Chains A and B, each alone.
Chain A
């Protein structure tokens, strides 16, 4: 190759590159000018909006008078709320896991969960109080966070009336995420609170709504936490956490005006200090704790839960403990549970064999065992420990010819409802405390407690302790 050819080729290349660069530049300029034009239009539109001081009511910043509103109070409330909500979210996911949703579609009340219902482990049976603690914390802590959440939302209300409503795309997106945050928070708290009071006004299955609503809320919460961390650090560094907590009403001052627009430009004189406002919210939490924890703790403390749904004393007889579905409500007829009642034991697999049918007397003739266990509801209350006597599930598995069962499908006489059946895991079947109970506290089961026989499994969600059992099918 001669030098002349090489240089010619180089010059052609160079001209090509130059032409491409020119074209790119033109394109870029076109884009810039059109985006500038768009920006100008947006700015013109923003300029035409009325100014904040010409606006009515809450859009005027001086409408907001509280002298304690500001980044400090909001930050402290956020710092209290965040760990609380994370605990409630974690216990919520654990409660989801406690149903062993991977075992069978019958256990999964959040169908179509995709990636969100990721499932990490088989729910253990030991310690037996695990689900009681989990749900007690989930519900009671959730209720305790209500006043903190209310205070937090109060502290940022002026932001709802920000003007101009949208400053730039970033602002618009962030406000949209705040809609998900506030909507998600109130939605989650509201569905949970009405569900524990059995006021089923929400559209659809509680499990589905509360589960996916929780994910929407947490998605927005994670981003909000990330975006606001610098603000929180700045506010606390500036205001000083302890200094402000030592300040009484007389010495409470408004914060210096902030970029967030929370501080009132026309603050009234304080009627409560910041620590007073925090104590007010904290007193609300404490009151809710005192008036509802008793339904999870049980015993003599149950009566302290005067406003909780399961805080009433039911008496001291062997059958006097909390229930959540009566035989009448489940349409269980006396004829079905009388002398004609049989327990059918079956197994699935390549060789299902013939099902075994047992009368109640035959069950009572088997080796009986007693376990002291509580029934713990997803709604947060517990029956407290009761003495259950019956046949071990693992003995029944052997009788059915399933020595190492992979699952157990428990079916009830109930005709409807999501909990007329449940699928138990191998760990739940083989636990020595897992029983098909026939007696409780030395007495025959009552119809409302599941006569003729019910399942009782340590640490399982209450609804998996199926009542009025008619068939047990062991999977292989």
Chain B
């Protein structure tokens, strides 16, 4: 018995539960595939492939591209976690499209014939809701920016931060709260400027990358978790894990 369990790889109860599952699922699928076995199987498989290998990669790539594109373009980004002000309205709008695309794209040909309702408004409604979501998000970001401390002095200094290496206090800044232990902003920009080609560090700000010593520095001060401890510097590209997100110098709450 023990040997069998070892060969199987789990408790015999595990086997029993799974066999029960397959019995019930098999019984149901025997009815399910009665009329169009191949088409039903294609739908089932298509459901998994469509989600796991199409939808999810698509929105992940969109998310990372947004992060990367804006990070590389604008060194003058505000020091607040702006990505979520883009991510949330885009995600919600995408969710509505995902659910209601047959109506929005007028795929159900009988809709008007059977309900006498117009198939026209759905596209406009979706666009209007999308617009409203982005507007609302923009308004909230604007409010946030007003409250946030202003970014570094002049844009030119910030964008050419490389020359400012030894003058980290290029502009008066509010003192960071004790929770966020940041290297001074210009130094971080330096790091970014000197390493322009980086594989997508999924970070909100343009200026949020760390050199190794910063990472080590922060790791020293923030006791690392097991996973961090296990993998310091395993990849040069890796920004220091677990360091407080440096988005701005104020504690924030998305």
Contacts and interface: CB of A to CB of B under 8 A. Distances in A.
Please determine whether chains A and B interact with each other in the same assembly.
yes
Interface of A: 32, 35, 39, 62, 65-67, 110, 112-116, 143, 146-147, 150, 153-154, 157, 160, 167-171, 173-174, 176-177, 179-180, 182-187, 190-191, 193-194, 197-205, 208-209, 212-213, 215-216, 219-220, 222-223, 226-227, 248-257, 263-273, 276, 279-280, 283-284, 287-288, 291, 306-310, 312, 314, 322-326, 328-329, 448
Interface stretch (B143-151, B152-160, B241-249): B241-249
Contact of B226 (A39, A184, A257, A272): A257
A18 B91 CA distance: 73
B129 A177 contact: no
B108 A198 contact: yes
Given A153-B51, A167-B9, A197-B102, A215 B28 contact: yes
Contacts of B35: 203-205, 208
Contacts of A212: 28-29, 31-32
A267 B227 contact: yes
Interface string B27-47: 111011011100110011101
Interface in B102-126: 102-104, 107-108, 110-111, 113-118, 121-122, 125-126
Interface in B229-254: 230-231, 234-235, 238-247, 251-254
Given A169-B9, A185-B47, A280-B87, 10 more contacts: A62-B235, A115-B27, A168-B9, A177-B18, A186-B48, A212-B31, A219-B21, A248-B254, A253-B242, A254-B241
5 contacts: A199-B108, A200-B108, A256-B227, A271-B84, A307-B126
Interface residues of B, number: 95
Contact of B202 (A183, A250, A269): A269
A112 B31 contact: yes
Contacts of B111: 197-198, 309
B166 interface: no
A265 B227 contact: yes
Q: Which of B31, B202, B238 has the most CB of A within 10 A?
A: B31
Contact of B17 (A227, A268, A322): A227
A475 B6 CA distance: 62
B202 A268 contact: yes
A287 B92 contact: yes
Given A39-B7, A182-B51, A310 B115 contact: yes
B70 interface: no
A216 B22 CA distance: 9
A179 B48 contact: yes
Contacts of B31: 110, 112-114, 116, 208, 212
A173 to B, nearest CB: 5
A337 B108 CA distance: 29
A99 to B, nearest CB: 17
A64 to B, nearest CB: 10
Contact of B103 (A157, A182, A197, A283): A197
